[in-house]
Amino acid sequence: MRTIQEIQKQLIDDFSLLENGNEKFDYLIDLGQSMPELDTKQKSEANLVKGCQSSVWFSIRCKEDKLFIEADSDSLIVKGIAAVLVQLFSGQKANEILATDIGFIEQIGLWRQLSSQRGNGLTAMLTHIRASAEACSEQKSASKLNKVLFLCTGNSCRSQMAEAIINASHSDKWQAFSAGTHPAGYVHPKAIAALQEIGIVHQGLSKSTNEFLGTEFDLVVTVCDSANEECPLWLGKGKRAHYSFPDPALTDDMQAFRNVRDAIALEIPTLLKAFEEKETL
């Protein structure tokens, strides 16, 4: 497949053969007419580009860090402009789209020929595509993270603190989740307070392991003995590890929550580092 730079050069060459604005508009209309219409279902509010005078829709899929774009408009000239962007960006990697200098649009004369309203519409289309590329790039980054699930019985204290600490301090390599074999239905206020003391704002929910049916984790860590004994077999696809942290809710003493928080912050990162280095857990 041709690169964005190669396609830009071809577009510049094609438009350079057109002598005036009328020929450029006729060419845009031809491009618009040659582009297939979007299915009615794809002409949705979610696909509608905000900021265009005419209605223009972009149906954009992210697959393997690439954007695949289809477009349509109720204006042939606007549809032609969209066709130029589809030709340029569809099938290209998200990070390459984000790095593209769109100065070539000035070189082919579009900015000069368009009315201010259509110029704003072109800017809105480019912004829409860029936002999709950013989301696609973030999706790829997230997919590269190791996923760890922390389990305890109630998912109200220990596993919640482990989830929050790892997401706050190791989000460059790990995406943490938590659940309970018998969820309490709430997160203990003192666990939240203990996290706030070290600058972590956590808004977790007490969840059942059943909510993660079908989710594959690289690592499952049980942080209490009962959860270790009751850990569902279907969570065993990734590696397993067990740490027995005392339940601070049994004493309901704030210092007990701090002690467990500090133990988790000390021991769990060591475990994750060992996993990263493929050491035996």
Q: Mind telling me the catalytic residues?
A: 152, 224, 231
35-to-48, 72, 100, 217 alpha-carbon distances in Å: 17, 8, 23, 42
How far apart (Å, rounded) are the C-alpha atoms in residues 8 and 210? 50
The DSSP bridge partners found for residue 57 are 48, 72
Closest CA to 238 of 147, 113, 118: 147
Looking up tokens 């350079």, which residue turns up? 16
Asked if 149 and 76 count as a contact pair (C-beta separation under 8 A), the reply is no
Closest CA to 147 of 279, 235, 38: 235
83-to-147, 194, 281 alpha-carbon distances in Å: 39, 55, 53
Burial of residue 116 (number of CB atoms within 10 Å: 0-12, 13-18, 19+): exposed
Asked if 166 and 148 count as a contact pair (C-beta separation under 8 A), the reply is yes
How far apart (Å, rounded) are the C-alpha atoms in residues 104 and 30? 20
Name the residue type at position 116. S
64-to-3, 46, 134, 157 alpha-carbon distances in Å: 17, 22, 14, 37
The DSSP bridge partners found for residue 67 are 62
How far apart (Å, rounded) are the C-alpha atoms in residues 50 and 52? 6
Token pair of 237, please? 């696809």
